[in-house]
Amino acid sequence: MKYIVAQIIGFIAFAVSLIAYHRKNKKIILSNMLISNILNLVHYLLLGAFSGCVTKLLATFRDYFIILKEKYNKLSNIAYLILFIMLYIIATIFTYNGFLSILPLVAAIIYIIFIWNGDDVKIKKTAFFCYFLWLIYNIFVSSVAGIVSNIISIISTLIAIINAKKGDK
């Protein structure tokens, strides 16, 4: 029963994140991702996938911080970016469960570097790449919702990137 509940929560998280990358505003993208990360946190916790769980916990704080950073310029200090990267590394040390368990860390570090000062197109392109890392991790932890959502998110984010490029012309 716990596995089924985990998958349902994972699919809801997927729906929220799918909508996020079709938004045009960085703040709205990150607000949607905040909700998705909270749901995914519960999803991975129920699966016992602690690397994914802790990464999503930190991603929740990260997305909220990025929203605040856009509002308060003093939060743009590179020291905060370094702090987040260090937190991801520390979390991964404590949740390490073989090589594949570091994939959420790698995806999270790549993502935060690009969203720190990136625009919505850079965020979408970075998410596109990071979804591949999460896909491998989701196969590793037997997350059906994660596998399906990553495949669809890869396709959907690619469409959003193409549409953004068409809008630039």
Separation between Cα atoms, residue 141 and residue 143, nearest integer Å? 6
> What domain range is 131 assigned to?
2-168
80-135 confidence digits (pLDDT tens): 999 999 999 999 899 998 999 999 999 999 988 888 877 777 888 888 899 999 99
Q: In the numeric block, which tokens belong to residue 127?
A: 């998410």
- pTM for this model (two decimals): 0.82
Radius of gyration of the chain (CA): 15
51-78 confidence digits (pLDDT tens): 999 998 998 888 888 888 878 888 888 9
Domain count within the chain: 1
Contacts of 102 (CB under 8 A, 6+ apart): 51, 92, 96
Question: Nearest CA to 6 among 147, 107, 106, 103?
Answer: 147
